[in-house]
Amino acid sequence: MVIIIFEGLPGSGKTSITKYLSKKYPFCIRIGEVIDKEGKEIPIEKHYGKEWSYFTRSDLNKLNLWKKRYTEKIVLLDRGFLSTLSHGFAREVVHKNSPFHKILKEFEKKIDPKLEGVYFIYLEQSSKNSLKRSLHPPKDIWGKIPELNATKLFYETFFLFRRNVFRINCEKLDLKKCLRNVEKIVLEIKRREKIS
């Protein structure tokens, strides 16, 4: 079983890229950004302003879904638990009322600490570019520069010494060029993991 977790600031292309790849390649299955217990994706406008526990439930639903259903495919995860952690981290840095440690403990119980068969694709961009590209309203945590800066710092720190991380700077790339770079990585992972 192989999972590729797409992370990056809002508007970096996670949803567009995972949708494209899952339609193009039969060996790829996409799990949406926020899902319910049945695995159905919840529309983005329904999760504006939600607290960390809402996203933690979705992240746990994703873990249950890919572990139970998709053993012979490459699972493309549109936003993973790191986004939920970064949400807590951003609040810690900006507001000092973080759920960060609760989120981390929840996932430490559920995942293999070695992260075998898990890959990350980090779609890098600036906070300003994230605001321009994403659909988040200004009142939402992802619609504010300080929180986006803190989230970017979290990603940069988390990925610094991790293996199985592919970074793509999407700042000056249009979505098609960014997508082509991701596609090459997914095909390399497929080859490396011997997925048919």
Per-residue model confidence as pLDDT tens digits over 23-50: 999 999 999 999 998 889 999 888 877 7
pLDDT band of residue 131 (cuts 50, 70, 90) is confident
Name the domain count of the chain: 1
DSSP string for residues in the chain: -EEEEEEESTTSSHHHHHHHHHHH-TTEEEE-SSB-TTSPBPPGGGGTT--HHHHHHHHHHHHHHHHHH-SSSEEEEES-HHHHHHHHHHHHHHTS---HHHHHHHHHHHS-TT-TTEEEEEEE--HHHHHHH----TTSGGG-HHHHHHHHHHHHHHHTT-SSEEEEE-SS--HHHHHHHHHHHHHHHHHHHT--
Residue 59, domain CATH: 3.40.50.300
Predicted structure pTM score: 0.72
Task: Show the domain range for 42.
Answer: 2-193
